[in-house]
Structure 1
Amino acid sequence: MDFITGFDRDQLVMMDFESCLGPDSWARIVDMFVDILPMGDLGFRDVLNNEGRPPYRSSDMLKLYLYGYKNKLRSSRQLEHACKVNLEVIWLLKGLRPSARKIAYFRKRNPKAFKGAFRYFVVLLKDWELIEGETIAIDSFKIRAQNALKNNFNQNKIDRHIEYIDNKILEYQQQLDAEDGDSDTEKIQDKIAYQESKKERYRNIGEELRTSGERQISLTDPDARSVVLHRNIINVGYNVQAGCDAKYKLFVNNDTGTVNDTHALSPMALDAKQLLGVEKMRTLTDKGYTTGKHLDICTKNGITTYSSPKEHSSQHNGLYPMVDFKYDREMDTYTCPDGQILVTNGTVYNKAGHKVKHYKNRQACKVCPVRHLCTTNKNGRFIERSIYQEALEENQKRVEENPEYYRLRQQITEHQFGTIKRQWGFTHTLMKGKQNVLSEVNLIMICYNLSRLVSILDPKVLKDRLKRLVDIFFALFGAISAILGDFPFLGNLVYHKRTGYKTFA
């Protein structure tokens, strides 16, 4: 009698390893999906092995990562362990057991290829008519970086540290002056020397900050920035931009740049438009993206924006507000509440990064009977108008006339962010540097789009589509091989019983 199972050994039936996986297993979906990707064209590089052994194929490593990111297994150590104990991973990698170092090396070495794989998938979804490209909602989410807040500095923080050190040094010097004996003198001098070394370190950081031309600097991850994560909690991280299609809420593109959304609208919108190959497109964004320059760029490129309008920055100080001044587009003038005409000399001024023109009428202001209700400026009232004001006004009009359409914005983007952050644990990055961080973003977005396909198409339909693509690919490969000869660098074709189609050995 077997001690573990309670059955006679000669009565035991060998379990079919294939039956360990359900027919709709995520591992099966990932396996078929990766086999349709042109790994070489996307730029993936295999991971070399030691002692002359064959390299780990990039397709196997990508399968491992796509399985792991969906199941909250992101670190190379976790994935290495899964290769030994997780039946689905063992099946997926055909028993391969790459080390944590090899796994991490593959992710670090292929940032452009991960991006290429995601964008290739997006184009495939467009061909399947699962992405329309008519309405794209653009929003952002923040993730923590591999950089502690104490290792992030701006000039004010550096000045505070130096001021604190100067006070400590002054305190120690006062102790030296008051010391009668020599017993503690050496210890105090050592403390002063230690504080001087810290002061020199902060001075070097300040010099590096000034040289960089940036407002802040991170020592561990130079690309990371101090951002507001949620509820005014500040941490060092990345502000990740994401574009989502309205039809099935699938991710379309991504990027990460500055700490806010101010300059992200037109780059994201133009990138999505080019990738999807559409002539016209509409975008939905919140007020963080409402910048006249980028609204104007979108309009000139066939992109209709619906971005929540911002309130005018003029102060509510009891004087005539901006809305009381009527603009004449044909004459390029303003009419004040007293009926006087304010004109511009045509000069464009740069005010805090915004390009504006000034409109004024000093002569009329000197004798204006309601001047005390209009301005306290000794030279009279003048109006600042952005050179992109027309784009701002047209955008505001569209939003106000289509409130129901604009409300679709949250429905298109919020669910994805909740899934990848709350369910899949993508609240922080394991990588350093913008390109490597985007590797993780592209991986998680591939996982999301692929898992959504299971819901949209039904697992059987999805697997049939993937299988047809694989068959087409290998049919084309066979035809080319017959004409041009064998391609030894591709390896031999092997038939797998578990998948029902051919793959490279």
Structure 2
Amino acid sequence: MYIHYNRDQLILPMDLEILIPTHHLCRIVDLAVEKMDPALLVSLYPGGGRPAYHPKMMLKVILYAYANRIYSSRQIAKQLKENIYFMWLSGHQTPDFRTINRFRSERMKDVVYEMFFSIVDLLRQQGLVKLEDYFLDGTKIEANANKYTFVWRKSTERYDQKLEEKFRQIVASIEQVTKEDEEAEQRLDFQEQLEASPITSEAIEDVIEQVEERLKKEPKNRTLKKAKRQLEQDLLPRKKKYEEYQEVLGERNSFSKTDPDATFMRMKDDHMKNGQLKPGYNVQIGTEDQFITGFSVHQRAGDTGCFIPHLEQFAAYGRPLPKRVIADSAYGSEENYAYCEKQKITALIKYNTWDREQTKAWAKEIGRIEHMTYDEELDEWICAKGERLVFVYERKQKTENGYESIKRTYRCTACAGCPFQSQCAKGKETKTITVSLQNQKQRQEIRQRLATEEGMATYRKRQIEAEPVFGQIKHNQQFHRFSLRGLPKITLEWGLVCAAHNLKKWAYTIDPHRKKKKKTRS
């Protein structure tokens, strides 16, 4: 005896919504997109031509796909024909993979931040975030680029220098020919031209033109023929290539030929931090209760220089800055502290020696400036023995973002015969320190904040904020590598990942089955 089975029997109801649980993720995605400003998505289309798929439907499908770790446009198109949740979100419409990819990479890239912040505002309305504490952290994600198509700044500059030397030799040979000419007025004064302006591709082209003019009068001159051939076929193409590389590099040290916006960074391939240099991007996120409340993508490997550009994204989109920023020592710099002070942000950001200061070994390092006393009136530092380090000179130092720091150098004149000389001066005759007084003042303020019970409790919370979110995205969602290329598209893709993470966590927090499990465990 079997349960009745008839594959051709009509079954009611035919509405797919009946089959979708009340608190399912796809309902959260549908709600979030429907709550967005309609003008935001309508602005994506200029109008005219064949009617397009509705941007709300397309965005719902892509967000739900990213929340289910489906990042391929071909796989998304496949799900629209096989998965009832995708079918319900799309209203049974089936755009092909080209349409999906075009909408994702071209239409959405200009409004990704507005879309993301719209979801954050919805989370705030639901009481899931307060947008007060901002836990900042970063990680590196591999670009969709060949890791062997690298271009390095130092190599480019070295090859370019060799090219200029060869160019000068060729010009010298041409000069020798012109000097042997009896008609002085026909000489080509190349050396004067080279000294007047730097060697560029335009300068090489000018020399080629002059050589061509000379060859019209002396068509059988082998030296000029050889010089023209070398300039046209070798030096000029390479010079244009190096100039193009320098333009793409900008302030970076490397880039990939398959994705010029990607920079080579050291990736941590396993838990032992073993890795290699690969083309990638430095992505930054700010979290609150493991919801992502801000994101940005950067081409520089270090986190220190990403701090201010990351927070400036808030002002660019009319968002209020967070009241407190909590981050690790990678962000602890004079420039970042000064920015927080200017923007009236309470910074709970460790500096690079804070953890070492908590150890017993730190107390034995008497040569450290932290163990000295500053005499503000005389502008001198007093060492552990009581000797004074007097001011010698100061210099200004600029960061990548244009911040100017003043470094002051002090030197002790009474180190001879000091019992601490080997330990304090590291074997040198005199003890010299270089310090920024502004940074020392900032560090003292950070020590005081982290010394309070509230400050330490807030900072300890950082360990269960941004880092678990990266673990969720990289391990559980299997997002290890970008699918698109170019910084604008990479920013879009990371924005979709962050928005999908928030929607998935939102659905998890309201899941009644999760609450039942908690009660059972307790």
Aligned partners of 1:154, 1:201: CA distance in 2, in Å? 18
Instruction: Give the aligned partner of residue 44 of structure 2.
Output: 45
Q: Deviations over 1:368-421 (max 9, x none)?
A: 756954547988433211242211332244334443332110111122222222
1:256 maps onto 2:256 in alignment: no
Report if aligned partners of 1:47, 1:55 keep a CA contact under 8 Å in 2.
no
What amino acid does structure 1 have at the position aligned with 2:93? Answer: L
Instruction: Give the aligned partner of residue 453 of structure 1.
Output: 506
Aligned partners of 2:389, 2:88: CA distance in 1, in Å? 76
1:114 maps onto 2:141 in alignment: no
Aligned partners of 1:286, 1:376: CA distance in 2, in Å? 30
Q: Deviations over 1:81-113 (max 9, x none)?
A: 122222221221112111211111111122121
Instruction: Give the aligned partner of residue 407 of structure 1.
Output: 460
Instruction: Give the aligned partner of residue 97 of structure 2.
Output: 100
1:331 Cα deviation from its structure 2 partner: 4.6
What amino acid does structure 1 have at the position aligned with 2:76? Answer: L
- 1:261/1:202 CA distance change after superposition, 3 Å: farther
Report if aligned partners of 1:118, 1:446 keep a CA contact under 8 Å in 2.
yes
1:382-461 to 2 correspondences below 5 Å: 382-386=432-436, 387-401=438-452, 402-458=455-511
Higher mean alpha-carbon deviation, 276-285 vs 20-29, is at 276-285
Aligned partners of 2:11, 2:125: CA distance in 1, in Å? 47
What amino acid does structure 1 have at the position aligned with 2:63? Answer: L
1:238 Cα deviation from its structure 2 partner: 1.1
TM-score by length of 1: 0.71
Instruction: Give the aligned partner of residue 85 of structure 1.
Output: 82
Q: Deviations over 1:300-333 (max 9, x none)?
A: 32212222331399xx999834344322345542
Which SS does the other structure have where 1:56 is aligned? Answer: coil
Aligned partners of 2:332, 2:243: CA distance in 1, in Å? 35
1:218-237 to 2 correspondences below 5 Å: 218-230=256-268, 231-234=273-276, 235-237=278-280
Aligned partners of 1:55, 1:240: CA distance in 2, in Å? 33
Aligned partners of 2:152, 2:475: CA distance in 1, in Å? 31
Aligned partners of 1:352, 1:260: CA distance in 2, in Å? 13
Report if aligned partners of 1:138, 1:285 keep a CA contact under 8 Å in 2.
yes
Q: Deviations over 1:158-180 (max 9, x none)?
A: 69999xxxxxxxxxxxxxxxxxx
Report if aligned partners of 2:392, 2:411 keep a CA contact under 8 Å in 1.
no
The Cα RMSD (Å) is 3.9
What amino acid does structure 1 have at the position aligned with 2:296? Answer: D
Which SS does the other structure have where 1:153 is aligned? Answer: strand
Which SS does the other structure have where 1:388 is aligned? Answer: helix
Report if aligned partners of 1:319, 1:375 keep a CA contact under 8 Å in 2.
no
Which SS does the other structure have where 1:407 is aligned? Answer: helix
2:64 corresponds to which of 38, 59, 67: 67
Aligned partners of 1:427, 1:320: CA distance in 2, in Å? 44
Count of residues in Structure 1 that have an aligned counterpart in Structure 2: 415
Which SS does the other structure have where 1:415 is aligned? Answer: helix
1:269 Cα deviation from its structure 2 partner: 4.3
Report if aligned partners of 1:136, 1:244 keep a CA contact under 8 Å in 2.
yes
Instruction: Give the aligned partner of residue 180 of structure 2.
Output: none
Report if aligned partners of 2:372, 2:382 keep a CA contact under 8 Å in 1.
yes
1:342 corresponds to which of 369, 385, 389: 389
Aligned partners of 1:419, 1:369: CA distance in 2, in Å? 56
Instruction: Give the aligned partner of residue 408 of structure 2.
Output: 358
- 1:44/1:7 CA distance change after superposition, 3 Å: same
Q: Deviations over 1:412-466 (max 9, x none)?
A: 1122222222222221111111221111111121122122222334589xxxxxx
What amino acid does structure 2 have at the position aligned with 1:418? Answer: G
Q: Deviations over 1:113-162 (max 9, x none)?
A: 12211012212333443222232110112211011110122145669999
Instruction: Give the aligned partner of residue 299 of structure 1.
Output: 341
Report if aligned partners of 2:332, 2:351 keep a CA contact under 8 Å in 1.
yes
Report if aligned partners of 1:27, 1:67 keep a CA contact under 8 Å in 2.
yes
1:242 maps onto 2:285 in alignment: yes
Report if aligned partners of 1:47, 1:57 keep a CA contact under 8 Å in 2.
no
1:325 maps onto 2:385 in alignment: no
- 1:228/1:8 CA distance change after superposition, 3 Å: closer
- 1:266/1:390 CA distance change after superposition, 3 Å: farther
Which SS does the other structure have where 1:263 is aligned? Answer: helix
- 1:271/1:392 CA distance change after superposition, 3 Å: farther
What amino acid does structure 2 have at the position aligned with 1:325? Answer: M
Which SS does the other structure have where 2:92 is aligned? Answer: coil
- 1:111/1:416 CA distance change after superposition, 3 Å: same
Report if aligned partners of 2:152, 2:255 keep a CA contact under 8 Å in 1.
yes
- 1:202/1:337 CA distance change after superposition, 3 Å: farther
Which SS does the other structure have where 1:344 is aligned? Answer: strand
What amino acid does structure 1 have at the position aligned with 2:20? Answer: L
Aligned partners of 1:68, 1:400: CA distance in 2, in Å? 45
1:241 Cα deviation from its structure 2 partner: 0.1
1:73 Cα deviation from its structure 2 partner: 1.7
Higher mean alpha-carbon deviation, 386-395 vs 346-355, is at 346-355
- 1:399/1:199 CA distance change after superposition, 3 Å: farther
1:112-261 to 2 correspondences below 5 Å: 112-155=110-153, 206-211=242-247, 212-213=249-250, 214-230=252-268, 231-234=273-276, 235-245=278-288, 248-257=289-298, 258-261=300-303
- 1:271/1:329 CA distance change after superposition, 3 Å: farther
Which SS does the other structure have where 1:260 is aligned? Answer: coil
Aligned partners of 1:87, 1:198: CA distance in 2, in Å? 61
Higher mean alpha-carbon deviation, 344-353 vs 327-336, is at 344-353
What amino acid does structure 2 have at the position aligned with 1:143? Answer: I
Aligned partners of 1:280, 1:207: CA distance in 2, in Å? 42
Residue identity over aligned pairs, in percent, reads 25
Instruction: Give the aligned partner of residue 194 of structure 1.
Output: none
Report if aligned partners of 1:333, 1:359 keep a CA contact under 8 Å in 2.
no
Report if aligned partners of 2:415, 2:421 keep a CA contact under 8 Å in 1.
no
TM-score by length of 2: 0.69
